[in-house]
Copies of this chain bind each other. A is one copy, B any other.
């Protein structure tokens, strides 16, 4: 059966995954939601045709968007996830016994419903009793929060469509205010390789540096995302992402991770020259 899902990474580069079956296809109020079954990546979710996550490699993204901040902050108790309706970030956060509240703001309830049905391995994050779900616009939600969270995870889609507002200066400024005085914001930060992705990444970095004092970017290998080279932003009021890493404390938690470890934590902040250059270009603009 020749049945393929293709994502155009650029107009001139295609990444194609053989599909066994399409499991679901729903038009929500906000976007088109599709779930596919594939021999290479297991079940995978797309929104408006863009790859969101696959059963086989989602662990990389979700571990890397959660553990670095959690291993740096000395006492993360109140956590907010913006976006992340698949539940993967929640699942990783729920591994920490010290967490007291786990709020998530997802604009599209149907994404959550679909993931609960077809991607239970990921959506199990919603099962934790500390989780509170708010189905609303993350942009609006965060506007009304002040000095409330230790960590905010911005687990957004790409900077167009429903996720667009989560890449604005206003939004990052509101996240800053919503964080406590030693809070940390982590965001999915696009990719440095293909020119359009690199621009989005640069723009996001510029906007974050306008609000936060400490802004670093770290990287991971995510095979199903464009170029496989994906970035995350670490924006912090007080803690340094590497110097304040609490290696012993984190290891003592004895969490089971498949990608993240504290060595890799430090390593992931060491970026290639060409990426550093793109970032420095906007830093120096200020």
User: Using a CB-CB cutoff of 8 Å, which residues 253-286 of chain A contact chain B?
Assistant: 257-261, 263-274, 276
A261 to B271, CA, bound (A): 8
A229 CB contact (under 8 Å) in B1, B19, B221, B257 = B221
A1 to B14, CA, bound (A): 12
A225 to B272, CA, bound (A): 17
Q: Which residues of B contact A221 (CB under 8 A)?
A: 193, 219, 221, 227-229, 272
Residue total for A at the interface (Cβ-Cβ under 8 A): 59
A258 CB contact (under 8 Å) in B11, B21, B49, B274 = B274
A91 to B25, CA, bound (A): 31
Tell me whether B271 and A264 are in contact (CB under 8 A): yes
A6 CB contact (under 8 Å) in B3, B17, B227, B263 = B3
Chain B min CB distance to A141 (Å): 29
Tell me whether B13 and A16 are in contact (CB under 8 A): yes
Chain B min CB distance to A68 (Å): 13
Tell me whether B18 and A13 are in contact (CB under 8 A): yes
User: Using a CB-CB cutoff of 8 Å, which residues 6-65 of chain A contact chain B?
Assistant: 6-8, 10-19, 21-22, 25, 32, 34, 38-41, 46, 48-49, 57, 60
A269 to B268, CA, bound (A): 10
Tell me whether B2 and A6 are in contact (CB under 8 A): yes
Q: Which residues of B contact A13 (CB under 8 A)?
A: 15-18, 40-41
Q: List 17 A-B contacts (CB under 8 A).
A: A1-B32, A1-B34, A2-B8, A3-B4, A3-B19, A3-B22, A12-B17, A13-B15, A13-B16, A15-B16, A193-B221, A193-B223, A223-B228, A223-B229, A227-B228, A263-B271, A267-B270
- Contact residues of A with B, CB < 8 Å? 1-8, 10-19, 21-22, 25, 32, 34, 38-41, 46, 48-49, 57, 60, 193-194, 219, 221-223, 227-229, 257-261, 263-274, 276
CB-based closest 9 A-B pairs: A228-B228, A267-B270, A267-B267, A22-B22, A1-B49, A2-B6, A221-B229, A223-B227, A12-B18
